[in-house]
Amino acid sequence: MTIRYRQALLALLLTWLSGATVAQNNTNSPYTRYGYGQLADQGSGNSKAMGGVAYGLRDKYQVNFANPAAYTAVDSLTFIFDGGISLQNTNFSNGTLKQNAKNSSFDYITMQFRASRWAAISIGMLPYSNIGYNISQAYENTENSAASYVTTYNGEGGLHQLYFGAGFKIFKNLSVGANISYLWGGITRTTTESFPQSTSNYPFIIQSSVDIQSYKLDFGIQYTQPFGKKHSMTLGAVYSPGHNLNNTAYELRQSGNTGDAGTTVTQTDIHADYGIPTTVGAGLAYVYDDRLTVGVDGLLQNWDKVSYEGRKEFCKRAKIALGAEFIPNPRGRNYLAFVKYRVGAYYSKPYYKIFGERAANEYGVTAGFGLPIPRTRSMVSVSAQYVHTKGTTAAFLDENTLRLCIGITFNERWFFKRRVD
C-alpha cells in the first residue's frame, strides 16, 4: 500500500471520529434519565461482532482494551492504531405509542505497541456512558384551561475515559495488565413545567448538573494452555475497584422566562456522593488452528452498592456473552480466505431501577466481518447489532435498536531495521 493511500485512509478515519466525538446526543433512550445513562460497550471491532466477548481473546492484530493482559499478544514489530464509530436506529414503544430516533456515536480510538519482549503499551480514549432524552407529558385541566400545563424532561451529557495501559508477560503462557484512566464528563438534567394556555402562570424550571473529574482502574490476567499443535484455551479475568468520584454538582431553580422582569433564579450547591461500581468479569476462549475462535464471557457489577446523588437507587448489573470468529484459511492466497466471519449473542440485566424495581432486561445478537485491506496487515471491521430492551412491566418502555459499527485497524510494521546494501 502506498504512503499516500495510508494517509488518505487515516484522514478519513480521523474525520469520522472527530465528527462523532463532538456529537451532543449519542442516544435518545428514556432509560438514560437514570444514573449515568447508557453504559458504553467496552470492546473493539472484533468484540462488537462477537456479542461483546473479550476477556479471553488474544489477537496480535487488534487492541483488546477490555482486558489489558491481552496487550502482550501484539507482535514485536507492530504498531496498531484502531478506531471505531457506530450508527444506530432505535424504535421506542410503550404498547400504544411508538417513536423512532437515529443517532451516531464515537466508540473508541486506541493505539498499541510492544515496549520490550515482555511488555506492551496501549493508549486510548473511550466513552463510559451517554445520556440523551427529551420527554413531554401534558396535564389537561378541563375546568380551567389556563391551569393546564406541560412537563418536559430533558437530559444530555455523559462520561469519557482517557486511559494508559500496560501488559506484562510473567511466564510464557501467563500475562497480567492494568489500565489507569482519567474519567471525566458532565451530566445535565432539566425539568420544565410550562403553561401554554396561560399568560399569568410562569414557567418553572429545575436543572441539576454534575461535573466529574476522577480516575478509574482496571486489572486483567490471562493464562493460555496449548493442547497439541492446533488447539489452545485462554482463561481471562478482569477486576475494577469501585469508588466515589470527585465531583462538582449544583441545582438551579428558575421561575419565569430568562430575561423577563420578576424572574427569580436560585442556585444551590449539592454535596453528595457519586460512585462507580466494582466490576468482576471472566472469560474463556478456545482457538483451533488460528482459524476458529469461540469465546464466552460473564460480567457482574455491584451497582446496588453505588451512591448517586448520595442515594443508592440502582440494581446489580450482569451480562453473559457468547461469540465466535472463523477464518476460512489464514495461510491461503484467495482474498476471501482471509476474511474474518464473526457472530455472537448476549443477555444483560441493566442497572436501571424505576419505582423500586428493575426496569428492563436486554437481549442482543451480532454478526460481522473483518475485511483485510489488500497488501497490508490492516483491516476494516463491520458489524451489525440488534438489541431488544424489554421493560419488566407493561408500564416500562420497550426499545429495539439496529446498530451498525465500523472500525478501522491500521497494523503497521514500524519497529524494524531496514537493510541497505
Distance, in Å, from the CA atom of 175 to the CA atom of 180, rounded to the nearest integer, reads 17
Q: Which residue has the cell 417513536?
A: 99
Burial class (CB in 10 A: 0-12, 13-18, 19+), 344: buried
Contacts of residue 307, defined as CB under 8 A and 6 or more positions apart, other chains included, come to 244, 272, 273, 274, 275
Res 200: pLDDT: 66
The alpha carbon torsion through 25, 26, 31, 36 (nearest 10 deg) reads -90
CA distances, 233 to each of 7, 48, 57, 60, 356 (Å): 38, 21, 10, 16, 42
Question: CA 338, CA 250: separation in Å to the nearest integer?
Answer: 54
C-alpha cell of residue 21 = 466525538
pTM, rounded to two decimals: 0.88
Q: How many CB atoms lie within 10 A of CB 82?
A: 27
What residue ranges define each of the domains in the chain, with the CATH number in brackets?
3-413 (2.40.160.60)
CB 152 within 8 A of CB 165: no
Cell of 20: 462523532
**pLDDT by position in tens, the chain (length 421):** 444 445 445 545 554 554 444 444 567 788 898 999 999 988 899 999 999 999 999 998 899 999 999 999 998 778 898 999 899 999 888 766 678 888 888 889 999 999 988 999 999 999 999 998 888 877 777 677 666 778 899 999 999 999 999 999 999 899 999 999 999 999 999 999 887 776 667 788 999 999 999 999 999 999 999 998 899 999 999 999 999 999 999 999 988 776 666 688 899 999 999 999 999 999 999 999 999 999 999 999 999 999 999 999 999 999 999 999 999 988 878 899 999 999 999 999 999 998 889 999 999 999 999 999 888 888 999 999 999 999 998 788 899 999 999 999 988 766 545 555 4
Task: Report the SS3 class of residue 47.
Answer: helix
Residue 355 makes CB contacts below 8 A (sequence gap 6+) with none
Count the alpha carbons within 13 Å of 95 in the hemisphere toward its beta carbon: 8
Q: 178-199 b/e with 16+ CB inside 10 Å = b?
A: bbebebbbbbebbebbbbeeee
- How far are the Cα atoms of 25, 217, 227, 292, 327 from residue 334, in angstroms, in the given order? 42, 43, 29, 18, 12
Q: What count of other Cβ atoms lies within 10 Å of the Cβ of residue 78?
A: 19
Number of other CB atoms surrounding residue 230 within 10 Å: 12
Q: State residue 41's pLDDT score.
A: 86
